Chains A and B, each alone.
Chain A
């Protein structure tokens, strides 16, 4: 059987840790703590007599996300207790939603290459995260002892469950990337934060048994985990063996999946309504208020950018991938050629950022100026359009600008981006092209000082011109335009 014929079905259950100020059911700070078990209180430790109280902000996040995923939001929702015994649960039950989740029945369109596909969203619900466990000296089955840190206990999670609509690891990855981007637009999730996005995947091939792979972190991990699992299942089939229904975990270091347990029957959690939490009404007014807060989402922005600016798909995709970059682009597009602006933002600037290992929004935050990159780009684009920068100089300027701006010693302030001197100590003169007369001087100097090269040229070695251009560039300290220099050298040598 060839690979293409394999009928793969994948469904994802994704947990998003929400970056709220306080935990889901108590007032403890929802943030990383220096010491274990310091951000805890009777409620998240499950003390007898303690009671949960709902953080309403989480409900807002959940409803917004539901609407963005085109789900039907339920009018009345409540919470349930899911009982199981495991050392990470302080109460030995988890508060989650079972019968009636916040929302059901949504849809999201993904794109892999040029292919578009709709992925069904089964449900979206809220639940609390359990504590963190560390099994010392092995995994849970054979460790010497287990440490439990309850700082994470009660952190809010959104769980988004898809239909088994994915047919390849690439699609699953595209979905997660799109989901992460959408959540970022909704200001619910920030990829830079410590709040993780974790998925459990259900995979079956050729209509065989379903295997669940748990705890796959991030968007890159999903593709690797699924690829491994699919090839494992294929190998089994090839050797004539059955794929058994089991639960596996993803080992991120070795990039393999490992068997956790053979699953013969569904686990029975004995759900009941949580009688400590009241029913929450998500009425039309509440939903309308939140709907109004939803910004233009990435796919909508993509569509509009295509129509308004007529850019290539790749450029738009990259611009839209960072909300702040998309906003800056729109401002720059009012002043400059849209293609020039877009290709500089997506091309040269991205290289500089990657080199410095910072993201678009981080630079702005670190520099202390929200418009930092916008200002830098304006300087570059305006001088490029005026023909005052050449490509290489502009790149250098942008690199220096970002790097100087990241230096905590430097204070950033540019009142007038067109001004010649800015506080970062970058002198625009250093980046500008040399004038024609000046280049003529440099060319003469290069020719005078390199009679050997001139001789080589005269004896038919055209490569010698390149050497002379290099000399002009070095004498001009890079200010000369290499194209003009070449023309002038050839003129002189004729």
Chain B
């Protein structure tokens, strides 16, 4: 049974079976932060959907993977949740994630580290790790909402061997998303098939008066329009020369290029100097951390965050400090401190303002490439999912370097999709397809063509 069959009314979701399988798998893999069941009817015919924990849900706690929001119960549904419920999808709960989205492997979760369904000793990827793992673990049609700031949808999609789409910035409303870095955050969809991501995206996309950054551009019927296509795709030279890309990953990528050529695509190497690791990655982290440090300010124990007895403190500052010291995880504290530094008077020109300028240049570089090409392709991640203990031993800068392939397009706000392109050492790898702003249909079509019309 696949998602298309349910949408087209050929098959029905068995909710009891789904729930018991979800619980059972979760026992083993810990990809869910909370499981609920809420049935619906409509176009989506009761297809289960699950959301990353940073997306607000009115009746289910929303902690964004952080202890500081452990019991936080939003008073409203995020726009994407509202739209899915209205379309007849059934809500099944929230997935584990890196605290506030700060991580590459979902090893910074306040509620336990989720395990990869392909190998329980390995990570699920981050930060929407749970959202990727649940799709892989459940052999059922399912729409899983993830959120990407620097690669958090296509990364777990690759590590879990599922399809994940990150839309253009502004295509999907962020209203109700617990913010990480507002100018970079995008809510997207993970599913087993390209069709599933297309269906999910067309439901959640579109203008929202509650989010001024959403675009008023019309949303195409991505799923109905899906069609096999041809075209020209570019491979950035900088990615091919990147240190630390695993051999198996590179082999699978070369196979993908051959496969695309066979299906009628022209593939060419291009020079995109700004995508090199020492430019895009620092620019991304400076912007993301600067914004994150302001977003997390509200978690001070005043209105949000854990409560302490004010009697125990000299003044407000001491109280706020204590709440934040205790409530935030290590990575959150690191990002708050770095982000506060990069936007401080005397440093902001050197870091924050400069990073913003780099972003503009990266966008322009992509725009130039898209004048000639339909998409830019690369491996989704430079490696297969590492073992949990390996990941935990990595230094922060080693971890940040893992994002090299994904931060460029994320910084530029381009839409991107990761589709499985084989296995290495028994673990899945992904093909990353990046398109021009609001050209989701094109990358969906390329992914659809690559996967042979979702016939896998």
Contact = CB atoms under 8 A, between A and B. Distances in A.
Contacts of A190: none
Given A141-B315, A272-B343, A49 B294 contact: no
A87 B316 contact: yes
Interface in A70-120: 81, 83, 85-87, 90-93
Contact of B344 (A50, A268, A278): A268
B352 A272 contact: yes
Given A48-B56, A270-B343, A276-B212, A93 B75 contact: no
A278 B214 CA distance: 10
Interface stretch (A39-47, A198-206, A373-381): A39-47
Given A270-B340, A272-B291, A90 B298 contact: yes
Nearest to B315: A141
Contacts of A272: 290-291, 294, 343, 348, 352
Interface string A44-77: 0111111111100000000000000000000000
Contacts of A273: 183, 356
A143 to B, nearest CB: 10
A7 to B, nearest CB: 30
A271 B302 contact: no
A273 B353 CA distance: 10
Q: Is the interface of A mostly helix, strand, loop or mixed?
A: loop
A47 B310 contact: no
Given A47-B75, A49-B74, A49-B177, A276 B182 contact: yes
A48 B62 contact: yes
A48 B209 contact: no
A422 to B, nearest CB: 53
A90 B176 CA distance: 17
A145 interface: yes
Interface string A239-279: 00000000000000000000000000010101111111110
A42 B76 contact: yes
B330 to A, nearest CB: 21
B346 to A, nearest CB: 8
Interface residues of A, number: 34
B181 interface: yes
A1 to B, nearest CB: 37
B213 interface: yes
B78 interface: yes
A140 B317 CA distance: 12
B211 A47 contact: no
Contacts of B297: 83, 85, 91-93
Interface residues of B, number: 46
A93 B56 contact: no
Nearest to B69: A48
Nearest to A146: B316
B64 to A, nearest CB: 7
Contact of B303 (A46, A53, A268): A46
Contacts of B315: 141
Contact of A51 (B74, B174, B320): B174
Given A46-B303, A271-B343, A276-B213, A51 B175 contact: yes
Among A46, A51, A90, find the residue whose CB has the most chain B CB atoms closer than 10 A: A51
B178 interface: yes
B436 interface: no
A47 B56 CA distance: 10
A51 B178 contact: no
A272 B78 CA distance: 25
Interface in B310-325: 310, 315-317, 320
B210 interface: yes
A275 B183 contact: yes
Contacts of B345: 266, 268, 270
B400 interface: no
Contacts of B298: 46, 48, 90-93
A272 B342 CA distance: 10
B179 A49 contact: yes
A18 to B, nearest CB: 20
Interface in B66-88: 69, 72, 74-76, 78
Contacts of A53: 209-212
A274 B179 CA distance: 12
Contacts of A50: 175-176
A271 B348 CA distance: 9
Contact of B294 (A42, A81, A140): A81
Interface in B129-182: 174-179, 181-182
A49 B213 CA distance: 14
Interface in B342-366: 343-345, 348, 352, 356
Given A85-B317, A141-B315, A276-B213, A49 B181 contact: no
A273 B184 CA distance: 13
Contact of A48 (B179, B316, B340): B179
Contacts of A47: 74-76, 304
A266 B344 CA distance: 12
A5 to B, nearest CB: 37
A48 B212 contact: no
Contacts of A83: 293-294, 297, 340
Nearest to B296: A92
Nearest to A54: B212
Nearest to A88: B302
Given A49-B74, A93-B294, A85 B316 contact: yes
Among B177, B293, B297, B345, find the residue whose CB has the most chain A CB atoms closer than 10 A: B297
Interface in A365-388: none
Nearest to A85: B320
Among A52, A272, A276, find the residue whose CB has the most chain B CB atoms closer than 10 A: A272
A53 B175 CA distance: 11
Contacts of A87: 302, 316
B410 interface: no
Given A51-B211, A85-B316, A278-B212, A45 B303 contact: yes
B30 interface: no
B204 to A, nearest CB: 15
Nearest to A267: B345
Contact of A275 (B75, B182, B210): B182
A270 B344 contact: yes
Interface string B172-201: 001111110111000000000000000000
A49 B212 contact: no
Interface in A7-36: none
B455 to A, nearest CB: 39
A430 to B, nearest CB: 63
Contacts of A81: 294
Nearest to B173: A51
Nearest to A26: B210
A49 B343 contact: no
Contacts of A268: 344-345
A176 to B, nearest CB: 31
Nearest to A48: B178
B74 A48 contact: yes
B421 interface: no
Contact of B75 (A42, A85, A274): A42
A47 B179 CA distance: 11
B406 interface: no
Interface string A269-294: 01111111110000000000000000
20 contacts: A42-B75, A46-B298, A47-B304, A49-B177, A51-B175, A51-B210, A52-B212, A53-B210, A53-B211, A53-B212, A92-B298, A92-B302, A140-B316, A145-B310, A266-B345, A268-B344, A270-B340, A272-B352, A275-B183, A277-B212
- For the complex of A and B, 5 pairs with smallest distance between CB atoms: A92-B297, A275-B183, A275-B182, A270-B343, A49-B176
Interface of B: 55-56, 62, 64, 69, 72, 74-76, 78, 174-179, 181-183, 209-213, 290-291, 293-294, 297-298, 300, 302-304, 310, 315-317, 320, 340, 343-345, 348, 352, 356
Given A46-B304, A92-B300, 13 more contacts: A42-B76, A47-B74, A47-B304, A48-B69, A48-B74, A48-B298, A48-B304, A49-B78, A51-B212, A54-B212, A93-B298, A272-B343, A276-B213
